[in-house]
Structure 1
């Protein structure tokens, strides 16, 4: 019988090795943003593991690492097993890489057992899902699914480097991005393993759950423009304080989400005050707004209402306001048939079949536009994610590995 615990030890050892590669020179935290030297070193390490497994391995124009196990069947379609290997700043070890390295272990097992599949299996390590550097998400999977928008090539990072330049600097090729897409007619489906990033499985002590849907999200950048002035000489009623307006809006967004509930969340996670000083009234404040909901109507209502509230705050305080939509992603329902197979695999492994809605975005979102897509969530420590405290228990990973292997067997049998 397969020793999933030994295989899990191997996976977690690789996770630990990959986590030593970071933009943080001290090694205290994990940060590997898209296109950075640390990202490239980490990808090189994962590529060496792909190649050692015997996969047909290549890098595409956006820097995705792609390993293919070809089927001997004529006209076979491609089933994609994937996650991402970029991280947020000050990240944990598991968000993204765990799915990639569990996928690699599954493929290694297929190769070692000399199993012939009725479909091509392509393992992908996407180069950018988090969108930290260029404030856009799913760059890697959008290229693979043919949804990449060429206008994004002119987007700049905090250092003024364009995405086009970053791609060139990392040895990629912006001109090949359209050709790197896997045509829709060649897809069989998409499957992603990922930590839950929430506390439901942790509290219920269930190791794995199928994902039924992924929340839609809208990201906005707000710029409040007032008048900078001396902190000691401008009377309070005469001030045009951009930060005070931003603060009022942040609390208004929090109150709105609390009042409306039903899966709606609103977050301001980034704030910048140009030319800030302790004795200067802020003349400008720039911040993010992240809205998410599994209900498209609720998401649209929240967006419209909060934009109106921001405009009212700016008018009352005599400020200028720029409201820029940075990203919109519609809610996505996972594929019923793939979830049926995944549910069978969970039950056959002896676990309760739970369905969860993901509040976080995943590469399954663009994949779902071209193919049946599903995900499995793995229990993680207290649901903590995007944080160095992010952790998993080996027993939960082993359980998820068993379920994923059963799922691939069910898929193989279905298409045989």
Structure 2
């Protein structure tokens, strides 16, 4: 908990915690985490996408690698636990193995991923995609709000663009992947249970919509003759909310970003850009909802005389956690005296790209009222203390099985 507080003190601003990919605050946080890894006896390095990586080596040089990981980047005005909890708890797990001089049948690598949230370049999983070998070089041309490209940011961090592929762990070398994360939902809090087994991660689609109407003088254009882009978006936001409520047992839908171009109090908005985030654990339902919402939105735009540009930014299919790994984790939860609660994660995690190359499992830890992406985000000390025996037991079961 002291480490979590110390890392949280490193931020781009004084309200909440903000450490976005490649910023001075992010680099300072990375350096701190790396120093903790080094002081614990791990072999450390910073790879070319900015992941902090610490390795505990097996006596068998040909052994496969098991990865413990989460991320240390944040959203804007974030909490302290989303991401760092998993990294620092993983470090604690390895410190226990070192102290006990456990002979490892496989290598263990602890990774603090550099960019899970995707705030700066409107991407997600940059760090974990590099480690999984699925990084898309086409992303290097993406720009942040200041016009700086991802390629520029990587170079400014000291990374080499030509070496990104070499930072991947080859698929045959993976033994598995384990990520601990706060639930970011209220189920565990309401049921007063400290941990849960994650069975799947919902798929998601992120869309950027540009609405074009006609800018005009707020005092001279009659109400019936306007093509107000912002009024159209306002109706769209309510449409999305209604759609989400109607299908709430299958999906969630959110408009979280709004940009009124050339905004002024005395100008009718002529162009507005907004986001749409659509998520479901059912791949077929996600696709159907996507098409239904697109049709409803295009009809709305046509009725209001607005030009609509619909751009799919990201599609991530739902992911099922590995049955074998989940069996071990469920046993560890039960052995530690807790009810085995199975949950589907509505939030995305680095386990998504990693699951394409390795058996992945996740453990959720209860957080205060399910609040996340918010300075009020909190994990109770008692819940963290209850988590430690579960993670240690899981790792001992995994070692014993190999």
The two structures share one fold, judged by TM-score above 0.5: yes
- Of 28, 33, 36 in structure 2, the residue corresponding to residue 46 of structure 1 is 33
- Of 282, 286, 290 in structure 2, the residue corresponding to residue 295 of structure 1 is 282
Q: Deviations over 1:245-275 (max 9, x none)?
A: 1111111111111112223000011100011
Q: Secondary structure at the match of 2:77?
A: coil
Q: Partner of 1:18 in structure 2?
A: 7
Q: Partner of 2:79 in structure 1?
A: 92
Q: Please report how far the alpha carbon of residue 327 of structure 1 lies from its aligned counterpart in structure 2 after TM superposition.
A: 0.5
- Of 372, 389, 393 in structure 1, the residue corresponding to residue 376 of structure 2 is 389
Q: Partner of 1:72 in structure 2?
A: 59
Aligned equivalents of 1:251, 1:303: Cα separation in 2:
16
Q: Give aligned pairs, total.
A: 402
Residues 202, 318 of structure 2: 8 Å contact kept: yes
Q: Please report how far the alpha carbon of residue 244 of structure 1 lies from its aligned counterpart in structure 2 after TM superposition.
A: 0.8
Q: Deviations over 1:129-170 (max 9, x none)?
A: 000001110000000001100000000011111000010111
Shifted more, 157-166 versus 303-312: the winner is: 303-312
Q: Partner of 1:410 in structure 2?
A: 397
Q: Secondary structure at the match of 1:188?
A: strand
Q: Secondary structure at the match of 2:165?
A: coil
Residues 75, 373 of structure 2: 8 Å contact kept: yes
Q: Is the aligned partner of 1:329 residue 2:329?
A: no
Q: Partner of 1:399 in structure 2?
A: 386
Q: Partner of 2:166 in structure 1?
A: 179
Aligned equivalents of 1:146, 1:279: Cα separation in 2:
51
Superposition map of 1:5-404 within 5 A: 12-24=1-13, 27-404=14-391
Aligned equivalents of 1:327, 1:114: Cα separation in 2:
44
Aligned equivalents of 1:399, 1:71: Cα separation in 2:
28
Query: Structure 2 stretches of 5 or more lacking a match?
Result: none
Aligned equivalents of 1:135, 1:309: Cα separation in 2:
25
Residues 16, 374 of structure 2: 8 Å contact kept: no
Q: Deviations over 1:177-203 (max 9, x none)?
A: 111110000000000000000000000
Query: Structure 1 stretches of 5 or more lacking a match?
Result: 1-11
Q: Please report how far the alpha carbon of residue 348 of structure 1 lies from its aligned counterpart in structure 2 after TM superposition.
A: 0.5
Runs of 4+ in structure 1 deviating by more than 3 angstroms, as ranges, are: none
Q: Deviations over 1:221-241 (max 9, x none)?
A: 000011100111111111011
Q: Please report how far the alpha carbon of residue 316 of structure 1 lies from its aligned counterpart in structure 2 after TM superposition.
A: 1.2
Q: Please report how far the alpha carbon of residue 74 of structure 1 lies from its aligned counterpart in structure 2 after TM superposition.
A: 4.1
Aligned equivalents of 1:238, 1:58: Cα separation in 2:
62
TM-score, with normalisation over the residues of structure 2? 0.99
Aligned equivalents of 1:179, 1:47: Cα separation in 2:
20
TM-score, with normalisation over the residues of structure 1? 0.96
Aligned equivalents of 2:310, 2:121: Cα separation in 1:
18
Q: Secondary structure at the match of 1:247?
A: helix
Q: Partner of 1:3 in structure 2?
A: none
